[in-house]
Amino acid sequence: MKRSKKEYPLAQVYGLLEPGPVVLVSTNRSGRFNVMPMSWHVMLEFVPPLVGCVVSSLNHTFETLRKTGECVLNIPTAELAKKVVACGNASGLSANKFEAYGLTPVEAGIVKAPLIAECYASLECKVVDRTLVTKYNFFILEVVKAWVDPRTKLPRTLHHMGEGVFAVPGRTIRLPSPKTSFLT
């Protein structure tokens, strides 16, 4: 584990995923690491943090997720944009994407899938509900351990707007919000 990332409270994980960043889903299938970008995710519960996500059955990751029931959601920032797109345009069947794109796998704390050192946050996940997998390719994950680089204050996350266009946060607005749950 790179020293730059520290364990992060599970109750605050929603603030990482709720703004809608592209994530890199890393998996481990019998010792073979793979990674794919994904934007179709949603928070479902604060504690324990539950995350729903769509992984197309056309992707290699779909079968791995079904078989292993584990993955890591890694959150990249703008510096990694080209690698993110490259990961999305190659198949894990033919390429070792970690080697091909210079991503560094790091051993996770609980799951067998690797953390990605270059991403500012990594969420170790287990599949906990497969009710909608057949109909919508929709997996429900529980975040069982979270890691964040504490030096990253306003992460320049990537927000996919379609066809290779990404928005990147430029500033923050702070407003009084007496209820933390107001946006659910």
Residues that bind its own copies in the complex, under the rule CB under 8 A: 12, 14-15, 18-22, 37-45, 50, 52-56, 58-59, 78, 81-82, 85, 88-89, 131-132, 136, 138, 140, 154, 157-184
User: How far apart are CB 69 and its own copies at their closest, in Å?
Assistant: 19
Residue placing its CB nearer to its own copies in the complex, 81 or 117: 81
User: How far apart are CB 15 and its own copies at their closest, in Å?
Assistant: 3
Residue placing its CB nearer to its own copies in the complex, 30 or 182: 182
Residue placing its CB nearer to its own copies in the complex, 22 or 115: 22
User: How far apart are CB 107 and its own copies at their closest, in Å?
Assistant: 27
Residue with tokens 């790091």: 106
Phi, psi of 38 (to 5 degrees): -155, 135
Work out the burial of residue 34: count CB atoms within 10 Å of its CB; fewer than 13 is exposed, 13-18 middle, 19 or more buried.
Answer: buried
Structural contact between residues 111 and 72, judged by C-beta atoms closer than 8 angstroms: yes
Q: HEC profile for 47-98?
A: CCCEEEEECCCCCHHHHHHHHHCEEEEEECEHHHHHHHHHHHCCCCCCCCHH
User: How far apart are CB 127 and its own copies at their closest, in Å?
Assistant: 15
